[in-house]
Homo-oligomer: A and B are copies of this chain.
Amino acid sequence: MNLTVYLAGQIHDDWRDNLKRKAKNKDLSISFVGPQEQHDLSDSIGENILGAQPGNVYRDDAASAINNFRTEVLLKKADIVIALFGEKYKQWNTAMDAATALTLNKPTIIVRPESLIHPLKELSNKANVTVETIDQALEVIEYVYK
């Protein structure tokens, strides 16, 4: 049985590659999808396709329309969502993706450091499972195959 896992969360470090490598080491049959990980491309994709916009608000809106399009296509394919919150950044996208997935009844795992327990408590309570490390998230998925 192959499962598709959407990896929501920050795109500022290599946690996805890390997680994919570990999943491979465990021989889990998983297809990973997720947001655009090249930060610059993610911010400029609107103007890249639609041309220069009259200011930052419009530039951001153009980019986010295309990022949301991408997420919507891929999230639908997902059997499982992992949403990782780090200590930096606002990460409202991550909260949006997790809440969207949960409302669509996609089984969702939240990964967050201990320091974020309090501000994430409602989303965490709503998620299926909350863990602190990607290793734990992977163990949860591995359990499905056992």
Contact = CB atoms under 8 A, between A and B. Distances in A.
Given A80-B73, A103-B103, A96 B126 contact: yes
Contact of A70 (B31, B119, B144): B144
- Copies of this subunit: 8
B103 A119 contact: no
A123 to B, nearest CB: 5
A125 B99 CA distance: 16
Interface of A: 1, 3, 31, 33, 36, 38, 41, 45, 48-50, 54-58, 60-61, 63-74, 76-77, 79-80, 85, 89-93, 95-100, 102-105, 107, 109, 116-126, 128-129, 131, 136, 139-140, 143-144, 146
The prevalent SS among residues of A at the interface is helix
Contacts of A131: 49-50
6 contacts: A1-B33, A54-B58, A68-B128, A73-B80, A96-B122, A103-B103
Nearest to A60: B121
Q: Which of A3, A54, A60 has the largest number of chain B CB atoms within 10 A?
A: A60
